[in-house]
Copies of this chain bind each other. A is one copy, B any other.
């Protein structure tokens, strides 16, 4: 078998990179659980008709077939299956399927791989890990959840600054503000306007103005007002006043605008208090607004804005509906693979070693291996990760075995039945007599740590 080459778009990490990814996942999980989110996992597949309910994503779906499928067999119950391309569609299905067993509002996190069958380009992944939080109500869900969730994300990503993750900025907008403003202006093709505004970063304001005129029937003046709104941003309550002043200038008053500004103002005020400097109102954030109905969020790494949003989401009034009930929700999704890939490729973080073991127990001779095994078992029973040398080679070679893996300590068992041994810190060369019932590595050496790469 020739040496295989990586598949483009399907990232994999070496063991040290996986320690970094696992640490990120552990921090996210812990933060979500501290906030009372219950973890769930859904199957990787959904019926194709469910995946295609939003037609525009259809090109991204991987469809499954069984290799030995009998073409004459009746179609299976559930129909054709595809791999999920996000965690929202499966979560909506899970909520409907299990509604009778869940307590609402239901707070869940979900950390899983998703797949998109698109051509990989510009660092886009075909397989990647998402970490989602959502709160879903039955029938109703209060606005304060829209304030709470970005603050949970700010806390989760903020915890990662300890390992060198740059600070994050969460950009927020509110669909009601945009829709109310456009309708107040007299523009009724709200989705058309949003689609054009969404292109602002890519094609610039002049081209967007031309688009607005050509495609939404806006006058030059209306187009200019939309661009003025999109230019407003800030992290304090003056944002609300600036939007209101702009609406007054253009006579664009609307009840929906008032409702949206009240919500946006509440979010900005709460965020300024609880996560100062993290949340910024940015009136140009658009995000597939046909789906969202209130707050929308995007998140950038400060200094790495060109990476795009690493965490997005919003409020949706209908996550799912079974006729009798509809289930409104608020959710955000962290693109973990995109984040970890950047951390590793930019060399921002590293693991202190590539294996869990803090100690390598040397073997004096193969017929003495049971002594080394006994020392290892005693240390492990005390919560210290240990491996035993694979061969009773010369000690120099056994020390190199540890060194290549970054294992900081090598334990040399006593030759006789004595439980005492010698333990060497191979970084400093210090060697001391030690009892496996008593000795422990310094706390910072017990497990591999993920640390910022010092510049």
Chain A residues within 8 Å of B, Cβ to Cβ: 1-8, 10-15, 18-19, 21-22, 33-45, 47-48, 50, 58-69, 77-78, 81-83, 93-94, 96-99, 101-103, 105, 107-108, 113, 115, 117-118, 127, 137, 142, 144-145, 148, 270, 273-274, 320-323, 354-357, 366, 369-370, 373, 377, 380, 383-388, 390-391, 401, 404-405, 447
Is A59 a contact partner of B65 (Cβ separation < 8 A)? no
Is B64 a contact partner of A7 (Cβ separation < 8 A)? no
CA distance A145 to B366 in the complex (A): 13
In the complex, chain B residues whose CB is within 8 Å of the CB of A383 = 34
15 A-B pairs in the complex with CB atoms less than 8 angstroms apart: A1-B322, A1-B323, A11-B43, A14-B98, A15-B39, A21-B41, A22-B39, A34-B383, A36-B355, A36-B386, A44-B127, A48-B67, A62-B67, A66-B118, A273-B370
* A47 → chain B closest CB, angstroms: 8
Is B15 a contact partner of A38 (Cβ separation < 8 A)? yes
In the complex, chain B residues whose CB is within 8 Å of the CB of A42 = 12
Is B36 a contact partner of A357 (Cβ separation < 8 A)? yes
> Beyond A64-B62, A108-B15, is A7–B39 a contact (Cβ under 8 Å)?
no
In the complex, chain B residues whose CB is within 8 Å of the CB of A384 = 34
> Beyond A38-B18, A40-B13, A380-B34, is A8–B77 a contact (Cβ under 8 Å)?
yes
In the complex, chain B residues whose CB is within 8 Å of the CB of A2 = 322-323
CA distance A15 to B101 in the complex (A): 9
Is A44 a contact partner of B101 (Cβ separation < 8 A)? no
Is A33 a contact partner of B67 (Cβ separation < 8 A)? no
Residue in chain B with minimal CB distance to A358: B36
Is B274 a contact partner of A373 (Cβ separation < 8 A)? yes
In order of increasing CB-CB distance, the 9 nearest A-B pairs are A36-B387, A66-B117, A36-B357, A59-B68, A33-B356, A10-B43, A15-B38, A61-B67, A62-B64
Residue in chain B with minimal CB distance to A369: B144
Is B387 a contact partner of A44 (Cβ separation < 8 A)? no
* CB < 8 Å neighbour of A101 from B14, B61, B355: B14
CA distance A11 to B42 in the complex (A): 8
CA distance A5 to B77 in the complex (A): 10
CA distance A44 to B62 in the complex (A): 12
In the complex, chain B residues whose CB is within 8 Å of the CB of A38 = 15, 18-19, 354-356
Is A3 a contact partner of B68 (Cβ separation < 8 A)? no
* A82 → chain B closest CB, angstroms: 7
* CB < 8 Å neighbour of A97 from B5, B44, B366, B447: B5
In the complex, chain B residues whose CB is within 8 Å of the CB of A36 = 355-357, 385-387
In the complex, chain B residues whose CB is within 8 Å of the CB of A369 = 144
In the complex, chain B residues whose CB is within 8 Å of the CB of A273 = 370
* CB < 8 Å neighbour of A18 from B39, B142, B323: B39
CA distance A60 to B69 in the complex (A): 10
Is B356 a contact partner of A43 (Cβ separation < 8 A)? no
In the complex, chain B residues whose CB is within 8 Å of the CB of A37 = 356
CA distance A341 to B122 in the complex (A): 41
* A441 → chain B closest CB, angstroms: 13
Is B64 a contact partner of A64 (Cβ separation < 8 A)? yes
In the complex, chain B residues whose CB is within 8 Å of the CB of A10 = 43, 45
Is A43 a contact partner of B142 (Cβ separation < 8 A)? no
* A14 → chain B closest CB, angstroms: 5
* A317 → chain B closest CB, angstroms: 15
Is A274 a contact partner of B377 (Cβ separation < 8 A)? yes
Is B43 a contact partner of A127 (Cβ separation < 8 A)? yes
